[in-house]
A and B are shown apart, each in its own frame.
Chain A
Amino acid sequence: MQPTVVVTGIGLVTSLGQEIGPFWDRLLRGESGISNVDSFDTSRFAVHLGGEVKAFRPASGTGRCDPAAVGRASRFALSAAAAALRDGGINVDKELGDNWGVCVGTTSGEPQEIEQAVDRQLAGDGDGSWSEFLERYPCHTIASNVAVEFGVGGDVSVIPAACAAGNYAITHAVEALRAARAEYVLAGGADSFSRITYSGFARLGAIARDCCSPFDLNRQGMIPAEGAAILLLERSDTARSRGARVYAEVAGCGLSCDAHHMTGGHPEGAGAVRAMELALADAGIDRRDISYISAHGTGTRSNDLVEALAVKRVFTQAPPPISSIKSMLGHAMGAASAIEAAVCALAVRNDQVPPTVNFRIPDPDCALDCVPNFPRSMSVHVAMNNAYAFGGTNSSVLFRKWKG
């Protein structure tokens, strides 16, 4: 019998705030974290909106890792990890030790380090900053920095899996906990706002001019964003013995690859269907027991279409309510599915689900109950967190109500 893995702490950095309570209330109220991009000049673009974290106030940690010496995604991850540990009731005065792990998902790691290197090159600055680049750019440093800050001596890794990276990191952590390679893992995702990401999506015509409206007939596209979420994951027996408050059980994980296209989904959603089915099988849960789906729901024409098709293929009878918080936060890249995992855990614990905002006209091709514009109070027994990514990467993670 494999051990049960539970969520006992949540730490967030989002454009809708960092504290769990206010963040959840703002999501339920359908507030928007979208604003005009400040971090670089968008005058050469036809679009200007982004989901930047403009009032980042780092949660205090131990001070062992100097935030000035690390990149922005690392600073987000450090803050989210500190918040998750505090939320989980873990004393961080002493080093956490060898039975702890850190696993952080990301799309781009520290792209701002590349952008600064390019700016220095174009300005004719010499090679002086390249050694700093080596210390700050490679994405594995994000997890290393968290490990140094809290004294984590076990499995410390970054899983780059583009926009499904948060789910990938959680899956990696669940595997380690089930196999008793770790007793506690800080798992989630982090990404910083990036002009590289923005330029690419803009050239593909994928960025919305006015708002992000997933599953709407006239949806314009996605809105790039940034942030981080870290979940404290542990086995239920350790959680029980230390009297920890449990948000939810991580009941199952499914990953697959389309092996079809770098940026587009499989036209019939084949890989997404496999990921959902693998997660259900891993958890031993019947599809009829899924109460709610947190959609990938980027708001692009093709993503929402393929995603709706895949969900309808798995849930042939009656697909559960499915909402996209990207309508409020934008798409926080590798952090997105980690933030959405936190949302699933909160939905399961609170028996509430956040809405898909900006929804006006149903798209008959993605006819689903997307919890339009208003939150819903409902019994949430199991929440399914779906995320898809460049590289044809698909992931589903299931969060089940914890009855102790």
Chain B
Amino acid sequence: MNTDHIRLRVKEAVSLVSGITIDKIADDARFAEDLGLDSLSVIESLVVVEREFRLQPKGEDVEVQIKSIDEAVRLVQVQLSRKAG
């Protein structure tokens, strides 16, 4: 699955959870600084994406703090490759 597709899904999830329209979410947006998201909304957005891709996050995925769209995309990629492998 390519990065652009994952990034779009992450941005859609952030938009759904935060109510920010997707055109206002930059590809490299930082959650707290640029979008004003609290940690609850960040984790909620990740869960939306993880559920969509039918991922099984593990303990270490839950404990890492994700601070930006880029980091979220990387986390999803790691989980996808683990699922595939």
**Which residue from chain A places its CB closest to the CB of B47 in the assembled complex?**
A203
Judging by beta carbons under 8 Å apart, are B43 and A203 in contact? Answer: yes
Judging by beta carbons under 8 Å apart, are B40 and A203 in contact? Answer: no
Among listed B23-31, B55-63, B69-77, interface-contacting one: B55-63
Judging by beta carbons under 8 Å apart, are B43 and A204 in contact? Answer: yes
User: What separation, in Å, do the CA atoms of A204 and B37 have in the docked complex?
Assistant: 15
A45 in the interface, Cβ–Cβ < 8 Å? Answer: yes
A261 in the interface, Cβ–Cβ < 8 Å? Answer: yes
Q: Within the complex, what minimum Cβ distance (angstroms) separates A198 from chain B?
A: 13
Q: Interface SS of chain B: helix, strand, loop or mixed?
A: helix
User: Known contacts A203-B43, A203-B47, A204-B43: does B38 contact A261 (CB below 8 Å)?
Assistant: yes
Contact pattern, A 195-215, Cβ under 8 Å of B = 1, otherwise 0: 000000011110000000000
| A interface residues, how many (CB within 8 angstroms) | 11
List 12 contacting pairs A-B, 8 Å CB cutoff, sorted by A.
Answer: A45-B59, A46-B60, A46-B62, A202-B62, A203-B47, A204-B39, A204-B43, A205-B43, A261-B38, A263-B40, A264-B38, A264-B40
The list of the 4 closest CB pairs from A to B, nearest first, reads A46-B59, A205-B63, A263-B40, A205-B62
> How many inter-chain contacts with C-beta < 8 Å in the A-B complex?
24
Q: Within the complex, what minimum Cβ distance (angstroms) separates A373 from chain B?
A: 27
Judging by beta carbons under 8 Å apart, are A203 and B62 in contact? Answer: yes
User: What separation, in Å, do the CA atoms of A205 and B66 have in the docked complex?
Assistant: 12
Provide the residues of chain B in CB contact with A262, threshold 8 Å.
40
Q: Within the complex, what minimum Cβ distance (angstroms) separates A72 from chain B?
A: 28
Interface set, chain A 260-306, CB cutoff 8 A to B: 261-264
User: What separation, in Å, do the CA atoms of A203 and B60 have in the docked complex?
Assistant: 11
Q: Within the complex, what minimum Cβ distance (angstroms) separates B58 from chain A?
A: 7
Q: Within the complex, what minimum Cβ distance (angstroms) separates B76 from chain A?
A: 17
Provide the residues of chain A in CB contact with B43, threshold 8 Å.
203-205
User: What separation, in Å, do the CA atoms of A197 and B40 have in the docked complex?
Assistant: 15
Q: Within the complex, what minimum Cβ distance (angstroms) separates A41 from chain B?
A: 15
User: What separation, in Å, do the CA atoms of A46 and B60 have in the docked complex?
Assistant: 8
Q: Within the complex, what minimum Cβ distance (angstroms) separates A74 from chain B?
A: 31
Contact pattern, A 19-62, Cβ under 8 Å of B = 1, otherwise 0: 00000000000000000000000000111000000000000000
Provide the residues of chain B in CB contact with A261, threshold 8 Å.
38, 40
Provide the residues of chain A in CB contact with B62, threshold 8 Å.
46, 202-203, 205
**Which residue from chain B places its CB closest to the CB of A47 in the assembled complex?**
B59
Provide the residues of chain B in CB contact with A46, threshold 8 Å.
58-60, 62-63
Q: Within the complex, what minimum Cβ distance (angstroms) separates A197 from chain B?
A: 16
**Which residue from chain A places its CB closest to the CB of B61 in the assembled complex?**
A46
Provide the residues of chain A in CB contact with B60, threshold 8 Å.
46
Provide the residues of chain A in CB contact with B63, threshold 8 Å.
46, 205
Provide the residues of chain A in CB contact with B39, threshold 8 Å.
204, 264
Contact pattern, A 52-88, Cβ under 8 Å of B = 1, otherwise 0: 0000000000000000000000000000000000000
User: What separation, in Å, do the CA atoms of A205 and B59 have in the docked complex?
Assistant: 9
User: What separation, in Å, do the CA atoms of A263 and B62 have in the docked complex?
Assistant: 17
Q: Within the complex, what minimum Cβ distance (angstroms) separates A313 from chain B?
A: 22
**Which residue from chain A places its CB closest to the CB of B63 in the assembled complex?**
A205
Q: Within the complex, what minimum Cβ distance (angstroms) separates A43 from chain B?
A: 11
User: What separation, in Å, do the CA atoms of A262 and B60 have in the docked complex?
Assistant: 25
**Which residue from chain A places its CB closest to the CB of B57 in the assembled complex?**
A203
User: What separation, in Å, do the CA atoms of A391 and B61 have in the docked complex?
Assistant: 27
Interface set, chain B 41-84, CB cutoff 8 A to A: 43, 47, 58-60, 62-63
